[in-house]
Amino acid sequence: MQVLLAVVALLLLAVALFAFQNPDPVTVRFLHWRLSASVAVVTIASAATGALAAALASLAARFVKWRRRPGASSRTVPPVAPPPGAPRQFP
C-alpha cells in the first residue's frame, strides 16, 4: 500500500511540474464548447477527471463483486447439510 501511495505521489508531482512549467494559454474545443485556459489548468483538470473516472469504475466493480458475494442477497437460500449416513454427491 505504501508503494502505491509513493507511486501516486510521484505521478501527481510530475503532472504538477509539467503543468506549471507550461503556463501558455490554449483553446480547448469539445462539441460546441470552447474553453480558453492555461496548459496548467487544462492538465490538472484532465488529470482530476481521469482520476474521478477511475475511482467510479473501481467503485462499480466493487459493487458488482459485493452483490455476487454469497449471503449478500436476502433471497439466497442457505445450503442444507445431508442427513448423517447419506451417500456423498460430488459436483
**What are the domain boundaries of the chain?**
10-57
* pLDDT tens digits along 60-89: 878 777 777 665 555 556 667 777 777 777
pLDDT at residue 74, as a whole number: 55
Q: Which of 15, 43, 17 is nearest to 28 (CA)?
A: 43
State the sign of the Cα–Cα–Cα–Cα dihedral 32, 35, 41, 43: positive
pLDDT category at 10 given cuts 50, 70, 90 is very high
Residue scoring higher pLDDT (77 or 23): 23
